[in-house]
Amino acid sequence: MATCGAGAFLLCPLISRPLKQSLILLKRVCFNPMLQILPMKLKTNPKTNRREENFDLWLGKPAPRYTSFPPAPFFTPAVTEQDYSSYLSTLADDAGVSLYLHIPFCRSLCLYCGCNMSVTQRADRVQNYLGALKREIERVAALTGKRRVRSLHFGGGTPNILGEQELRDLFAVLRQHFDFNAAREIAMELDPRLASADQAESLAACGITRVSLGAQDFNPEVQLIVRRHQPYEQVAAVCAALRHAGIRRINLDLMYGLPKQTPESLADTARRVCALAPDRVALFSYAHVPQIKKHQRVLEKYGLPDVRQCLALENAARGVLIENGYCEIGIDHFAKEGDGLTQASREGRLHRTFQGYTEDDTPHLLGLGASSIGQTPAGYFQNEPDARAYQSLVANGQLPIRRGFLVSPEDRLRRAIIERLMCDLACDVAAVCRRHNFPIENLAEDFARLRPYEEAGLIARQGATLRLATPYRMAVRIICKAFDPYTLGSQKILSSRVA
Ligand SMILES: C[S@@+](CC[C@H](N)C(=O)[O-])C[C@H]1O[C@@H](n2cnc3c(N)ncnc32)[C@H](O)[C@@H]1O
Ligand code: SF4
């Protein structure tokens, strides 16, 4: 069984290199000034194997991924379309928005998939859905007025299942109802198996500026098991076609925790990914939720790696990415030096949404399409997740809100603390309290919950400033949990363990 700790791996490439090169690497790892303000004493004793003890405090423990606070399992049906409608109609006159658009269809099922999607080969199913989506766009815009859009993200499912004409029509409706003149980014998640040179040209013509390609793992044995046949050469050809069409901002998604992955094989995938020179790489931990996604059960017969093996997999891929010049962003993203995400991360301007890490600071993120989630200062508004039920609600003339969460001033404070921790792996809690006009004394119990982690060296604390020790960055979700009374007081099943 692998016992390699995150920190051990992280330091390996550093000590085998000339000093100058090591310092450059170190700079990439310690990307944020917040990370450098506290002296860090790591209690690592090789005799007592202290780091192993520390693992027991966090590795394999359940914790939300904190893409929102409160986490999505705490959303409630008490939040209705009336709440959303009143939020939309009272947006400040000068407020811009960002948009997330969900396309919940794929051509085939990948066995690891945890997304809201269904498989279809039927054009009419997609067209009917697009009809509802356009009506929802019109309805939302009727309440907000024609707003400036800062960024637009198409997620799925597989947004590039849409044909050229379908995409053009959808963009026509979007541009009719929202103002894209100052949009910084229009991004789309693509399945490389459906992409082509012609599609790349049509995406560019529609104004797409960034794409995320699902690469996951290039090992043929892993691909066979997860039912996603996708040779490296195919992904390489798609990257070339996109760049030729003028879409130069490319993200690649990798995943660890799948059957038959080994640190060596995943490192090999990461090397191939680096050869494609994406601007950003996401290294997702596989979320195994067979109670919700029954198809994932099939993977169990091949044997899923345990949490320590997962950590070794993550270490292996991360090491390759860092060696190849990528900077670590939060817990699972990597970006080139000079990329906007790297800059935002260094300057403490990173944000975390349901789409992951972003430099987009627009507080008004509106969700469109089945299952999409709006993230706003008032709270969260989630659409009906089932595509057919979503279409019926829209056909009835409703805003298809199914559940959500209206945040209190204290929720907003906790959301800010957790966001800084997830983004910076550090937080000046006193400063956040001052900004939210919240007495820090009221967080005494939260700080008390942190004590075991301080004693074990997972975090350093100076006054009310917290910092994760670099080797334990993956433990940040457990640290966030100390500030999350909803999760702490709940019996709800949390979907993911920390690894
Ligand atoms: C909507 S998919 C990407 C677009 C396209 N459908 C594809 O697969 O290429 C978004 C990403 O979610 C990640 N993902 C899907 N299921 C996951 C799971 N169970 N755990 C962690 N990440 C997952 C994958 O890395 C995938 O690339
Ligand atoms: S990973 Fe992508 S292509 Fe595969 S089933 Fe999920 S959303 Fe569809």
Give CA separation, 335 vs 324, 344, 376, 462, in Å: 11, 11, 26, 30
Last residue of a domain, one of 349, 380, 406: 406
Assign residue 175 the CATH number of its domain.
3.80.30.20
Q: CA-CA distance, 338 to 249, in Å (whole number)? A: 13
Q: Of how many residues is the chain composed?
A: 499
Query: Do 361 and 414 lie in a common domain?
Result: no
Query: Do 121 and 106 lie in a common domain?
Result: yes
Q: Give, for 382, the enclosing helix (H) or strand (E).
A: strand 379-383
Q: CA-CA distance, 409 to 113, in Å (whole number)? A: 36
Q: Which stretches of 324-386 are DSSP H helices?
A: 340-346
What's the confidence (pLDDT) of residue 39?
38
Residues framing ligand 1 (Cβ under 6 A): 106, 112-115, 155-158, 189, 191, 214, 216, 253, 255, 284, 286-287
Q: 104 CA distance to ligand 2 centroid (A)?
A: 9
Query: Do 318 and 374 lie in a common domain?
Result: yes
How many separate domains does the chain show? Answer: 2
Give CA separation, 6 vs 65, 287, 299, 337, in Å: 18, 19, 26, 22
Give just the sign of the alpha carbon dihedral 467, 473, 475, 476.
positive
Q: Where are the beta strands (DSSP E) in 257-350?
A: 280-285, 326-329, 333-336
Query: Do 427 and 465 lie in a common domain?
Result: yes
Contact 40, 460 (CB under 8 A): yes
Contact 173, 137 (CB under 8 A): yes
Q: Given pLDDT bands bounded at 50, 70 and 90, which one contains residue 53?
A: low
Q: Given pLDDT bands bounded at 50, 70 and 90, which one contains residue 55?
A: confident
The tokens of 421 are what?
């921790």
Q: Give, for 86, the enclosing helix (H) or strand (E).
A: helix 81-89
Classify residue 334: in a domain, yes or no. yes
Q: Tell me what the mean pLDDT of segment 151-155 comes to.
A: 98
Last residue of a domain, one of 377, 406, 435: 406
Query: Do 169 and 253 lie in a common domain?
Result: yes
Name the residue with higher pLDDT: 117 or 32.
Answer: 117
Q: 213 CA distance to ligand 2 centroid (A)?
A: 11
First to last CA, the chain: 15
Classify residue 185: in a domain, yes or no. yes
Residues framing ligand 2 (Cβ under 6 A): 106, 109-110, 113, 115, 117, 156-158, 191, 214
Query: Do 392 and 418 lie in a common domain?
Result: no
Burial class (CB in 10 A: 0-12, 13-18, 19+), 153: buried
Query: Do 351 and 444 lie in a common domain?
Result: no
Last residue of a domain, one of 380, 406, 432: 406
Classify residue 499: in a domain, yes or no. no
Classify residue 25: in a domain, yes or no. no
Q: 154 CA distance to ligand 2 centroid (A)?
A: 14
Query: Do 449 and 468 lie in a common domain?
Result: yes
What's the confidence (pLDDT) of residue 51?
56
Assign residue 427 the CATH number of its domain.
1.10.10.920
Q: Given pLDDT bands bounded at 50, 70 and 90, which one contains residue 216?
A: very high
Angle CA 148–151–157, to nearest 5: 130
Q: 417 CA distance to ligand 2 centroid (A)?
A: 33
Query: Do 397 and 470 lie in a common domain?
Result: no
What's the confidence (pLDDT) of residue 52?
57
Angle CA 446–448–451, to nearest 5: 120
Classify residue 138: in a domain, yes or no. yes
Could you say which ligand is closest to the alpha carbon of residue 287? 1
Classify residue 497: in a domain, yes or no. no
Classify residue 494: in a domain, yes or no. no
Top mutation candidate among 115, 273, 288 for ligand 1, by most atoms within 8 Å of CB = 115
What's the confidence (pLDDT) of residue 306?
94
Q: Which of 1-10, 70-79, 155-164, 395-404 has the lowest mean pLDDT?
A: 1-10
What's the confidence (pLDDT) of residue 256?
97
Q: CA-CA distance, 51 to 106, in Å (whole number)? A: 43
Classify residue 24: in a domain, yes or no. no
Query: Do 78 and 52 lie in a common domain?
Result: no
Give me the domain span that covers residue 453.
31-65+408-488
- State which ligand 2 atom lies nearest to the alpha carbon of 191: 3
Query: Do 336 and 360 lie in a common domain?
Result: yes
Examine the pLDDT at 40 and tell me if it is beyond 60: no
Query: Do 58 and 118 lie in a common domain?
Result: no
